[in-house]
Homo-oligomer: A and B are copies of this chain.
Amino acid sequence: MAEAGPKKATIFDVAEQAGVSIKTVSRVVNDESNVRDATREKVLSAIRELRYKPNAAARELSGKRSRLVGLVYENAQEFNYLKDVLDGTLEACEARGYSLLLCPLTLPNPDITERVREFATQARVEGIVLPAPLGDVAAVTALLHQLRIPLAAIAPKDPRPEEINVSCNDGEATCSLTEYLIEQGHQAIGFIEGHPDHGASAARFSGYRRALERHGLAFSALLVRQGYFDFDSGKTAASELLDLPKPPSAIVASNDDMAAGVLFEARERGLSVPGDLSVVGFDDTQIASRMWPPLTTVRQPIVRMAQTAAKLLIDKLNGEAVHSSDQPFECEVVIRKSTAPPVPVTPLDH
């Protein structure tokens, strides 16, 4: 049972308690050099006793540092990807004493620029995390550049070396995934592209093509449909694909949400998955394991990617040298139950 209002301790209280000046306390708090060990100890224990916490507003006013990071994101219906981004970003911020501010965007939108400017200046964030596709929206990146606000892009289409960006090898992963289908005996494999604004879309598409080539399968543009990473577009694309004179026996959707749409469309037509049609997704978000049948997909370490993006961003804000483009993160194919050899099974196929 603590008392009601012990008038939060200030830097002066700590200084007095420790018998030093406020500047020394400030030095200790900010981990600056030029403080004798003994002095530091005195200050530290005073801080503990008084439960002193620096006042963020005063700090910001004086020092120009808000310790705020922004997450500007596209607020789509499908939130599965974003939950992971949020989790990762938040954790990284918290671990470093930063708070996270949210700025949902609805795309396309003529006045993104104003909204983001408002957000960046009004909310006075020091840096901004930009999950795909925003890392590629010039209106946004140019503005932030002009505002001198560092950014960290997650899975941008063309990563600019001077900025922080994290990505994963989703092209390769899509290739493996497609190969898995091919090895099961599928010859006609449909592909649903992701949103053209996302860098991942092109990468995944080319992964698909590479798998075809590698196995001597002809590529047919008929089997490729444009999607937009959401359920509805997946459903529509599946519908078109299944209406083809010679429909594919398997469909690769560029993400789980679209794969869910494919499953839905198949059900509506009374098609059994994977009996009549194999379906794979991408991301291994929550929904993938909740569908029936559970989706074969690719696990993308979104949480860790977001964590890393935020971590690097904050490091940069703190003036540390940042080595952005390490290795891309590794994806992992997750086999579940939405895939099977096409009927009839013909062992002679390979």
Contacts and interface: CB of A to CB of B under 8 A. Distances in A.
Contacts of A122: 53, 56
A83 B79 contact: yes
Contact of A264 (B86, B101, B123, B290): B290
Contacts of A124: 56-57
B61 A286 contact: no
Contact of A87 (B60, B75, B268, B291): B75
A141 interface: no
A61 B55 contact: yes
Contacts of A100: 101-102
Contact of A263 (B77, B231, B263, B292): B292
A275 to B, nearest CB: 13
Contact of A4 (B53, B80, B146, B267): B146
B231 A290 contact: yes
A260 interface: yes
Interface string A120-133: 01111000000000
A286 B121 contact: no
Taking residues whose C-beta sits less than 8 angstroms from the other chain, chain A's interface range is 35 or more
A121 B53 contact: yes
Nearest to A115: B94
Interface in A185-239: 231
Nearest to A77: B286
A146 B5 CA distance: 9
B104 A102 contact: no
Contacts of A123: 56, 99
A345 interface: no
A335 to B, nearest CB: 17
A58 B61 contact: yes
Contacts of A260: 290
A14 to B, nearest CB: 16
Interface string A260-299: 1101100110000000000000000011001111000000
A260 B286 CA distance: 12
A2 interface: yes
Nearest to A125: B99
A273 B120 CA distance: 49
A17 interface: no
Contacts of A183: none
Pick the 3 closest A-B CB pairs, nearest first: A57-B60, A267-B292, A57-B61
29 contacts: A2-B146, A53-B122, A56-B122, A57-B57, A57-B66, A57-B124, A58-B61, A61-B61, A75-B87, A78-B286, A79-B79, A79-B80, A79-B83, A79-B286, A83-B83, A90-B102, A90-B104, A99-B123, A100-B101, A101-B101, A102-B102, A260-B290, A261-B290, A263-B292, A267-B292, A268-B292, A287-B287, A291-B291, A292-B292
